[in-house]
C-alpha cells in the first residue's frame, strides 16, 4: 500500500479528524514530518480539515537549528499554509526542570503544541511517528521490563495533560489530543514517498531526542532480532496492537472503579485503601498508574517497576509508609487511604516529649492525632483481628507506669519471638520503615524499657503467658481530622 | 535466598499443596528435577504432603535413555520414595500424532503424568521449570509476536486438559494440575544447590525437548540482551508477572461472559455471534482463545496471530467463512453463531438442482435449511436493516420465473454498483468466500441470468430505480435445526 493510502486508512480507522477540524501539524523539517505534512495536505481537501504548521526551535544545534526553523517556515509558505515558529532555550529549561535534554526538548515541544492548539482553537496536533518508531519504542520498553501500558507502545491517538508535569502548580493545565497518522507506515515507505515526490527535508532535528539506547536498538538490536524471526517487526507491531486492546479494556474497568475509590484533594490523588485492597492485583496496579498519570499529566519516567513497588508498599506497609518515585511523585499510606502527591516530603510530625498513659482510661496525644485507650482485665481483649494498633500485654511485666514517646538514640527492645534485644534503629531498617517517618512511630515504654513499638511489634518480655495474672489492653484510636 | 527457602515461598504463595496431598514429581534425572525432588523431600514432612516419583523413558537417546530411567529408579529407591517408571516409543507417537519430536515427547510425558495422578488418586504433578526457563519462554513468545496469554510465560500453577488434544475423541480427558515450585529459582541457584548437597544428576534428558531456537536464545540472545539491560532477566520476569495479573483479570471477565455466550455441542464450541460482536475487542480475542483451549485442552501451536485472524474473519466475513488453524482447529461462521471444531472439514452441502420460487409465497429448500419468502408490492419492504439475506428487486427486471440453485461453471453477474458483468468465480475470490463453501451459496436466477447472489449482492440490473413499478421482496429464513 502506498503511504498516502495508509495515512488515509489510519486517519479513518481511528476517527482522527472531523470535517472542519483545524489540525496543528508538528513539523521538525525531517523526512517523517515533511511526508506527514505533504500527505495530509493531499487528503485535507477531501477530508474537509485545515492545517496549521508548528515548529519549535530548540536551539540545541546552533545555526543548524535556525536553518531548520527557516526551512519549515519556507515549506509552509510554499504550500500556502499558516505556520507558527517559536524558539525556546532548552538548555535553560532542562536545568529548571531537572530533566535530560531529550526529555526537556520533548516536553517543551508538547507544551508549545498544547498552547498553540489552545490559542488557535484547533482540535489536535499531528506528529510524525512511524511504524519503525513504534517497534523501537516497544523494544525499549520491553528491555526495561514494562507492563501493559508500556508494551502497547505509541497509540494512534492519545491525550496528554500538559502543564503541571513540569511547571508544577504554575499556570493552567492543558489537555492535548495527539494523533499519529504515519503510525502504520514504515520508515522505508516514508523515504520512498519523499523520493517519489521529490520533497526536500532536513536531517531530522528530533534526532537530538533520540537516545543512544534507541539508536543502538535501531541499528544493532533490531537487525539482530530479525535473525531469530525475519518477521519480527510485524510480530512486535501485532503484539503492541493486541496488548493495546487488553489495556483499553482494563482501563475501561479502571474508569468504572475510579470515581468511587479515588478523589482529588489539595493537589493530591487520594485512594480509598479498603476499596483498593479488595480489587484484583491487575486493577490495583492500573489504578495506581492512573493516579500518577492524573497527577503528572503523563507517565514519562514512571516505570512499571515503580508502580509495582508502590503497590506492594501500599498493600503491605504500615501506616506512614512512604515511597518516593521519579519526578518527586510520593505515595504515602494513611490509615484508611493512601495519597499520591508531588514535591519534596515535609518532615513528619515527630512525637515531642512523653505522654503518660492513664491506665485504665483514655489518653489523648493531639500532636500525632491519636487517642490511646487502655483497659485492665483477666483475659486478653476479644480479638481485634489483625489490627496492628492493638496490643495485649502482661500488665505486671509491663509495670504500672507507661508513656508514649518518640524514639530515642540508643533505644533497644526485644521484638516478640526473638531471644535477644535488638537496636530499635536496626528493627526499623529491617522493617523498611522509611527514615523520614521513624520519628512518628509511637513508642510505648515504661521508665526502664520499651514494651511496644506501636503499630509494629510488642516486646517479647511483656507477652501474655500462661502465668499472666493481669492483662493490659492498649489500643491506638485515630482522632477525627486525622 | 537459598533454593530451599525460595521453593518453600513459591509453594506457600501459590498454595500449591495442602496437608495430606499426594504429589507426583516428574523427574527426568537432570539437575532441575533432582534439585526439585530433593528440596520437596526436605519440605514434605513439615508440609504434610507425600511424594511419588514419575519418569517416562522416551527412548529417544538409545541406551542413555535406559540409564536415565535406571538412575531415577535408584534415586527414588535410595530416598525411600515410591516411583513409577514407564516407557513410550515417541518415534511412533509423533508419526501417529503428526507432531515434532519435542512436542510429541512433551505431550506423551504429560499424558503419562495425568494418567498416573488419576491412578494414584494424587493431587498434582510437580515439574522442574526454573526462572531461566521462564525468561527463555517469554523471550521466545515475544519474538514470534504473542499476546498476553503467551507473554505471561509459564505460571507457577496451571491446569491442563490432557487427552483430546492428541488422541482426538479416543478415551477420556483428564484434567491435570501442574505445579512448578522451582519457578523463582535461577539455573545458577539450582546448580549451586546440586553442588552444595553433592547430588548426582544426569545430563538433562528433557534437553531433547529443547529446540534449536531455545538453545540460541539461552546461549546467544539473552547474553546479548543483557548488554542493553544488565537486569534484563529480572525485567522479563517482572513483565511476565505483571502481564499474568492482567491476564488473570481479563480471564475472570471471560469466565463471567462465557456461560451466556458459549456452549459445547457435538464436540464443537458454539459462540453466539450477536453477543460476541458486542464485546470489546480484547474480550473477543480472549473468548476465541478460550474456545480453542476448551476444544484442544491446551494452546500449543495456536498463536496470537491465529486467533487474531480468526477473530477478524468472524467479525468481517460472510456466513460460511471458515478459517483453518494448526492442529486441525476450524472456526466456521454461521448465521447467528460461529463454531470451533476439530478435524478435516467435510465438504459443504452443495445445492443440488433448481428450486422454483413460489412468488408470492414461501419455498422450502430443505437440503440447505432455508425457506425463501417472497412478496410483491409497490414499495420496498419496511427496512430489514443490514440483513444480507433480504433483497428488494425490481420485479419486472427480474422476470416472473425465479429459481434458487447452486453456482455453475461460467456464471456471470453484474454486482450492484458495477457497470460491467463479472465472473461469479472472480466475485467469490474477491469477496474471500472460501473455495469449499462456494457450492453452498444460494444463487437466485431467472432462466436467463443471476439476479441475486443471496447473502452477498444483487445484480445491478434488477435494483430498485425511480421507474420501478413492482417491487419483489425476497427473504431467506433459516429453518429450525439449522
Interacting residues of B454 by C-beta distance below 8 A, sequence separation 6+: B389, B391, B404, B441, B442, B443, B444, B474, B476
How confident is the model at residue B401, as a pLDDT?
92
Among A283-297, A329-343, A345-359, whose mean pLDDT is lowest?
A345-359
Give CA–CA dist B249/B256, Å, rounded. Answer: 11
pLDDT at B349: 64
Give pLDDT tens digits for A252-267. 999 999 999 999 988 8
Q: A216 and chain B: CB distance < 8 Å anywhere?
A: yes
B238 touches chain A (CB under 8 A): yes
Burial class (CB in 10 A: 0-12, 13-18, 19+), A227: exposed
d(CA B267, CA A395): 70
A319 min Cα distance to partner chain B (Å) = 24
A356 close to B (CB below 8 A): no
The predicted structure's pLDDT at residue B480: 54
Output A99 or A115, whichever has higher pLDDT. Answer: A115
Range A394-415 average pLDDT:
92
Say how far apart CA B415 and CA B457 lie, in whole Å: 6
pLDDT in tens, A115-171: 999 999 999 999 999 999 999 999 999 999 999 999 999 999 999 887 644 444 445
User: Rounded mean pLDDT of chain A?
Assistant: 88
Most confident of A202-206, A253-257, A325-329: A253-257
What's the confidence (pLDDT) of residue A362?
Answer: 87
| Angstroms from A355 CA to nearest CA on chain B | 42
* Contact between chains at B246 and A148 (C-beta distance less than 8 A): yes
Helix axes A131-143, A187-196, angle to 10 degrees: 160
* Cα(A132)–Cα(A185) distance, integer angstroms: 8
Chain B nearest CA to A257, separation (Å): 14
What pLDDT score does A438 carry? 83
Q: Which residue of A has its CA nearest to B212?
A: A228
Chain B CB within 8 Å of residue A308 CB: yes
- Give residue A169's pLDDT: 45
Helix (H/G/I), strand (E/B), else coil: A161:
strand
Q: Are strands A22-26 and A50-57 parallel, antiparallel or unpaired?
A: parallel
Q: Is residue A305 less than 8 Å (CB to CB) from chain B?
A: yes
CB B451 within 8 A of CB B404: no
Query: CB–CB of A228 and B213 under 8 A?
Result: yes
Say which of B143, B235, B249 has its CB closest to residue A144.
Answer: B235
> Cβ distance B306 to B377 under 8 Å?
no
Average pLDDT over residues A309-337: 88
At A186, the pLDDT band (50, 70, 90 cuts) reads very high
Within chain B, which residues score under 50 in pLDDT? Answer: 164-170, 208, 481-482
**What pLDDT sits at residue B7?**
95
Taking the Cβ of residue B28 and every Cβ of chain A, the question of whether any pair is shorter than 8 Å is answered with no
State yes or no: pLDDT of A229 exceeds 70: yes
What is the H or E stretch that residue B26 is in? strand B22-26
Report the DSSP pairing between strands A412-413 and A422-423. Answer: antiparallel
Q: With contact defined as beta carbons under 8 Å apart, do B212 and B220 qualify?
A: no
Q: Would the pLDDT of A214 be above 90? A: no
Between A and B, how many residue pairs show a Cβ–Cβ distance under 8 A? Answer: 117
Return the pLDDT at B375: 86
According to DSSP, residue A479 is labeled P
List of residues 6+ apart from A290 with CB closer than 8 A: A251, A254, A258, A262
- How confident is the model over A294-316, as a mean pLDDT? 88
Residue B169's pLDDT is what?
45
A25 preceded by cis ω (within 30°)?
Answer: no
| Whether the Cβ atoms of residue B323 and residue B313 lie closer than 8 Å to each other | yes
Q: What is the pLDDT of residue B435?
A: 75
User: What region, left, alpha or beta, does residue A329 occupy, with left being phi > 0 and alpha being psi -120 to 50 degrees?
Assistant: beta
Q: For residues A415 and A428, is the Cβ–Cβ distance under 8 A?
A: no
> At A481, is the pLDDT very low, low, confident or very high (cuts 50, 70, 90)?
very low
Give the model's confidence band at A350: pLDDT under 50 very low, under 70 low, under 90 confident, else very high. Answer: confident
- Length of chain B counted residue by residue: 482
Nearest to residue A13, comparing CAs of A190, A181, A176?
A181
Burial of A232 (0-12, 13-18, 19+ CB in 10 A): buried
B36-85 per-position pLDDT tens digit: 999 999 998 888 899 999 999 988 777 888 999 999 999 999 999 999 99
CB atoms B250 and A249 under 8 Å: yes
Complex confidence, ipTM? 0.74
A341 half-sphere exposure, CB direction, 13 A CA radius: 17
User: Do you know the residue count of chain A?
Assistant: 482
The predicted pLDDT at position A204 comes to 63
Which pLDDT does position B165 carry in this prediction?
A: 46
Contact (CB<8Å) A145/B221:
no
Q: Which residues in chain B are closer than 8 Å to A231, comparing Cβ atoms? A: 145
- Judging contacts by C-beta atoms under 8 Å, the chain A residues touching residue B228 are 143, 213, 216-217, 221
pLDDT at B4: 92
Which residues of chain A have a CB within 8 Å of the CB of B212? none
CA pair distance B128, B237, nearest whole angstrom: 17
**pLDDT band for position A482 (cuts 50, 70, 90):** very low
Least confident of A33-42, A55-64, A408-417, B79-88: A55-64
Amino acid at each position: 500500500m502506498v503511504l498516502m493510502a495508509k495515512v488515509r486508512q489510519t486517519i479513518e480507522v481511528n476517527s482522527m479528524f472531523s470535517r472542519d477540524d483545524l489540525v496543528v501539524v508538528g513539523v521538525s523539517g525531517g523526512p517523517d514530518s515533511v511526508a506527514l505534512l505533504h500527505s495530509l495536505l493531499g487528503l485535507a481537501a477531501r477530508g474537509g480539515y485545515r492545517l496549521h504548521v508548528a515548529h519549535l526551535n530548540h536551539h540545541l544545534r546552533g545555526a543548524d537549528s535556525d536553518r531548520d526553523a527557516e526551512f519549515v517556515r519556507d515549506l509552509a509558505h510554499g504550500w500556502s499554509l499558516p505556520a507558527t515558529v517559536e524558539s525556546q532555550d532548552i538548555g535553560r529549561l532542562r536545568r529548571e526542570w531537572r530533566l535530560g535534554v531529550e526529555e526537556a526538548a520533548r516536553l517543551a515541544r508538547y507544551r508549545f503544541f498544547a498552547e498553540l492548539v489552545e490559542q488557535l482553537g484547533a482540535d489536535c496536533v499531528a506528529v510524525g511517528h512511524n511504524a519503525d518508531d513504534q517497534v523501537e519504542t516497544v523494544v525499549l520498553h520491553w528491555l526495561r521490563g514494562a507492563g501493559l501500558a508500556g508494551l502497547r507502545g505509541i497509540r494512534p491517538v492519545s491525550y496528554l495533560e500538559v502543564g503541571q508535569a513540569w511547571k508544577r502548580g504554575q499556570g493552567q493545565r492543558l489537555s492535548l489530543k495527539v494523533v499519529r497518522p504515519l503510525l502504520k507506515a514504515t520508515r522505508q515507505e516514508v523515504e520512498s514517498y519523499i523520493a517519489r515526490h521529490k520533497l526536500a527535508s532536513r536531517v531530522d532535528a528530533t534526532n537530538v531526542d533520540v537516545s543512544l539506547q534507541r539508536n543502538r536498538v535501531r541499528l544493532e538490536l533490531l537487525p539482530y532480532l530479525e535473525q531469530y524471526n525475519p518477521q519480527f517487526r510485524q510480530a512486535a507491531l501485532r503484539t503492541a496492537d493486541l496488548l493495546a486492546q487488553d489495556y483499553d479494556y482494563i482501563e475501561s474497568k479502571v474508569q468504572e472503579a475510579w470515581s468511587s475509590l479515588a478523589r482529588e484533594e489539595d493537589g493530591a490523588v487520594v485512594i480509598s485503601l479498603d476499596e483498593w485492597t479488595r480489587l484484583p492485583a491487575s486493577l490495583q496496579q492500573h489504578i495506581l498508574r492512573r493516579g500518577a498519570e492524573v497527577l503528572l499529566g503523563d507517565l514519562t519516567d514512571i516505570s512499571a517497576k515503580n508502580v509495582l513497588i508502590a503497590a506492594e508498599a501500599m498493600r503491605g506497609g504500615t501506616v506512614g509508609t512512604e515511597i518516593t518515585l521519579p519526578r518527586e511523585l510520593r505515595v504515602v499510606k494513611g490509615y484508611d487511604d493512601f495519597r499520591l502527591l508531588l514535591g519534596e516530603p515535609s518532615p513528619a510530625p515527630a512525637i515531642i516529649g512523653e505522654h503518660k498513659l492513664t491506665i485504665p482510661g483514655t489518653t489523648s496525644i493531639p500532636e500525632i492525632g491519636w487517642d490511646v485507650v487502655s483497659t485492665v482485665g483477666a483475659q486478653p481483649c476479644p480479638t481485634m483481628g489483625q489490627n496492628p494498633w492493638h496490643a495485649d500485654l502482661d500488665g505486671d511485666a509491663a509495670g504500672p507506669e507507661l508513656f508514649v514517646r518518640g524514639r530515642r538514640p540508643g533505644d533497644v527492645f526485644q521484638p516478640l519471638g526473638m531471644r535477644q534485644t535488638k537496636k530499635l534503629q536496626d528493627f526499623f531498617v529491617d522493617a523498611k520503615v522509611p527514615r523520614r517517618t521513624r520519628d512518628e512511630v509511637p513508642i510505648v515504654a515504661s521508665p526502664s524499657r520499651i514494651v511496644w513499638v506501636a503499630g509494629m511489634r510488642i516486646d517479647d518480655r511483656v507477652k501474655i503467658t500462661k502465668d499472666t495474672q493481669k492483662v493490659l489492653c492498649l489500643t491506638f484510636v485515630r482522632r477525627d481530622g486525622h
